[in-house]
C-alpha cells in the first residue's frame, strides 16, 4: 500500500524544488531538494551510481519530522535528486525516520536500515524519544518497509543502555556473506558506546557486544558511527555530543572523533591506538563513508554544526544545510588524512600561477578571485628576513565583507574567521587549529563554493570547514603579511 505521507512529501518536494534555481544552490556540494537537511544517510554505491540519502524536512528550512531525502551521482560532485525515500508513516517511526545506512543485497535490491522514533509521554509530563532500528528494501528509487519492523529495539540493548539514545545503524557485509552493524547508544554512565550486532541475512539481527566504550572521555552520547579498514588499520568515526576541548582538539561541542586502531576480526575486538578530531573548522558533523568501485574510502559529512544553525542567508530561505566536499581518506604517521576527491580536478579551468611572490602588507594578484575556486598556496619566510608574525588570506571579499584564514608560525596556529562574512548574529565565527609547519612553511589547498570554504592543510593532514553566506558579488581574494613572506599560488576556477 502506498504511503500517503510519503506521496505528499514527494509531491511537495517536486513542486517546490523546481522553484530553487541552480544559482541559489552550492555548485558542487549536495543541498536538500527543498527545506532542511542534516546528517548524510545510506551513503553507498548501488547499481552503477553513488546514492546519498539525508535527514530531511521538506516542508520547512528548519528541523522537523525527519524523512529521508535521496540523490544520486556518478562523480560525487554533481547530484541528481530522486524522490524522497522514507517518510514517518508507520506506528514504529511516526515521529521520525532518523539516520542509518544502505547496502546492496545479493539479489540486487538495496536494503536501508534506519532508526524509527516514537515520542513517549514520561511521568513528569515531558516526552522522550524511544528509538528502534527498522528496515526498508527497494530498487534504488522506491522502498517498502519491512513487515517485521522494528528489527532491533530495547530488548536487544545490553543492560543499562538507554532506549532513548539508540540510533544511527551503519551496516556492512562480511566476506562470509553475513552482516554486521554498529549502533550508537548511551550506557548507564551517561556517556556513549558503540554496539555491534550481527545478522545471517540482513533481516534478522541480534546483539553481539560493545565494540567501543566512551567512559566519559570524549563528550557524552556517541552518534552516527562508521567503522572500516584503511591502510592496514581500522577506523572508528563517531560524532560525540557535548565534548570538552582538549588543547586544540574537540572544540566543537557537538564534535567529531576519529579513533584509529587494530581490529581482531575473529574475536571482533577493536583496540584504540590514537584519537583526533575529523575536522578542525566550524561546520562539520555526522560523516559517513563509502568504498568506491576503485577501492577508495570516501567520506562526506554534514557541513553544519548544531550550534550554528541560526547562521543563515535569510529568515525565509527555501533550503538549509549542505554536505561537505567528498574526501578521500588515508592514514599516514598514525593520522587520518583527507584530500578532496580526485574527481574535483576534472572541474578545474583557467589556471593562474604565481611563484615566489614577496608579500609585506596586503597584495592582490591579477586573475586570483572567485567564489568557485580551487587554490593551492604555499607560504614560507622570505629568505634573509626574520620569521614573519602572521600571514592571512582573505576570501569572499569586497569593501564590506571577507572571511580570513590566518596563520601565526610562532604559535603554530591556523585560524578561520568569518565574523565579517555578512552574519548579523554573534554566533560561532572563529576556530583555531594547531598545525605543523617547517620553519614557517605551510601548505594550504582552499576549496571555495558559493556558500562554503574548506581548507586542507599540508596535503590533508587537517581540514577546516565553514559555511559562508556572503553576497556572491564579494569574490575578491587578497594576501596579507605582518612581516615578509614568500608565496606560491596556483588557482583554478571550478566549472
What DSSP element (H or E) covers 6?
Answer: helix 4-17
Which residues contact residue 201 at a Cβ distance below 8 angstroms, ignoring those fewer than 6 apart?
Answer: 179
Long-range CB contacts for residues 54-58, cutoff 8 Å, separation at least 24: 54/30, 54/323, 55/98, 55/99, 56/32, 56/84, 58/9, 58/12, 58/13, 58/16, 58/32, 58/33, 58/34, 58/84
Evaluate the CA torsion angle 39, 41, 44, 47 in order and state its sign. Answer: negative
- 227 grid coordinates: 567503522
CB 222 within 8 A of CB 242: no
- 389 grid coordinates: 608574525
Rounded to 5°, angle at Cα 18 from 14 and 24: 135
Put the strands of the sheet holding 257-264 in their side by side order.
222-230, 233-240, 257-264, 269-276
Alpha-carbon distance of 201 to 106, in angstroms, equals 10
The answer to whether residue 39 is catalytic is yes
Of 371, 286, 372, 292, give the one whose Cα is nearest residue 324.
286
Alpha-carbon distance of 69 to 318, in angstroms, equals 15
Other CB atoms within 10 Å distance of the CB of residue 154 = 14
CB 237 within 8 A of CB 256: yes
Grid-cell match 557535548, residue found: 242
CB 101 within 8 A of CB 181: yes
- DSSP symbol at 384: T
Radius of gyration of the chain (CA): 23
Cα separation values, 234 from 62, 185, 278, 461, Å: 36, 20, 15, 18
Of 133, 94, 58, give the one whose Cα is nearest residue 321.
58
- Is residue 14 left, alpha or beta, with left meaning phi > 0 and alpha meaning psi from -120 to 50? alpha
- 15 grid coordinates: 513542486
Alpha-carbon distance of 279 to 257, in angstroms, equals 9
How many residues are recorded in the chain? 495
Catalytic positions, written as ranges: 39
Amino acid at each position: 500500500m502506498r504511503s500517503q505521507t510519503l506521496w505528499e512529501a514527494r509531491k511537495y518536494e517536486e513542486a517546490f524544488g523546481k522553484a530553487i534555481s541552480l544559482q541559489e544552490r552550492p555548485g558542487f556540494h549536495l543541498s536538500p531538494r527543498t527545506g532542511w537537511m542534516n546528517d548524510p544517510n545510506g551513503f553507498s554505491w548501488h547499481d552503477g551510481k553513488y546514492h546519498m540519502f539525508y535527514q530531511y524536512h521538506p516542508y520547512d528550512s528548519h528541523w522537523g519530522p525527519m524523512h529521508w531525502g535521496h540523490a544520486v551521482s556518478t562523480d560525487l560532485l554533481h547530484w541528481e535528486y530522486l524522490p524522497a525515500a522514507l517518510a514517518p508513516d508507520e506506528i514504529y517511526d511516526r515521529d521520525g525516520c532518523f539516520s542509518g545506512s544502505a547496502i546492496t543485497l545479493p539479489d540486487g535490491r538495496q536494503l536501508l536500515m534506519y532508526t524509527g522514533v516514537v515520542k513517549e509521554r514520561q511521568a513528569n509530563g515531558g516526552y522522550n524519544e524511544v528509538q528502534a532500528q527498522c528496515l526498508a528494501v527497494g530498487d534504488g528509487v522506491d522502498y517498502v518497509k519491512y513487515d517485521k519492523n522494528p528489527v532491533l529495539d530495547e530488548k536487544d540493548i545490553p543492560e543499562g543502555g538507554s532506549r532513548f539514545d539508540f540510533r544511527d545503524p551503519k551496516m556492512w557485509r562480511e566476506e562470509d556473506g553475513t552482516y554486521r552493524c554498529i549502533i550508537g547508544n548511551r550506557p548507564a554512565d551517561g556517556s556513549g558506546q558503540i554496539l555491534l550486532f550481527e545478522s545471517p541475512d540482513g533481516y534478522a539481527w541480534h546483539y553481539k557486544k560493545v565494540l567501543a566504550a566512551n567512559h566519559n572521555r570524549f563528550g557524552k552520547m556517541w552518534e552516527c558511527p562508521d567503522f572500516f579498514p584503511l591502510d592496514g588499520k581500522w577506523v572508528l568515526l563517531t560524532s560525540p555530543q557535548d565534548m570538552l576541548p582538549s588543547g586544540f582538539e574537540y572544540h566543537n561541542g557537538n564534535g567529531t572523533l576519529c579513533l584509529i586502531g587494530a581490529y581482531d576480526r575473529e574475536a571482533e575486538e577493536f583496540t584504540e591506538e590514537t584519537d583526533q578530531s575529523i575536522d578542525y573548522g566550524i561546520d562539520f558533523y555526522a560523516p559517513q563513508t563509502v568504498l568506491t568501485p576503485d577501492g577508495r574510502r570516501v567520506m562526506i559529512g554534514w557541513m553544519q554544526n548544531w550550534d550554528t544553525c541560526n547562521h543563515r542567508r535569510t529568515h525565509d530561505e527555501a533550503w538549509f544545510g549542505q554536505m561537505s566536499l567528498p574526501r578521500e581518506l588515508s592514514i599516514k604517521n598514525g593520522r587520518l588524512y583527507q584530500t578532496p576527491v580526485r574527481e574535483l580536478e576534472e572541474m578545474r579551468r583557467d589556471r593562474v600561477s604565481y611563484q615566489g611572490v614577496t608579500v609585506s602588507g596586503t597584495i592582490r594578484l591579477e586573475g586570483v578571485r572567485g567564489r568557485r575556486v580551487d587554490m593551492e598556496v604555499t607560504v614560507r619566510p622570505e629568505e634573509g628576513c626574520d620569521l614573519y608574525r602572521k600571514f592571512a588570506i582573505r576570501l569572499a571579499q569586497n569593501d564590506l565583507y571577507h572571511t580570513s584564514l590566518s596563520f601565526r608560525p610562532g604559535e603554530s596556529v591556523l585560524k578561520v574567521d568569518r565574523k565579517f562574512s555578512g552574519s548579523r548574529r554573534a554566533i560561532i565565527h572563529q576556530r583555531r587549529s594547531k598545525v605543523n609547519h617547517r620553519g614557517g612553511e605551510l601548505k594550504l589547498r582552499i576549496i571555495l563554493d558559493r556558500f562554503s570554504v574548506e581548507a586542507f592543510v599540508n596535503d590533508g593532514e587537517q581540514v577546516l570547514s565553514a559555511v559562508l553566506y556572503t553576497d556572491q558579488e564579494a569574490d575578491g581574494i587578497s594576501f596579507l603579511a605582518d612581516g615578509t613572506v614568500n608565496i606560491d599560488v596556483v588557482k583554478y576556477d571550478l566549472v
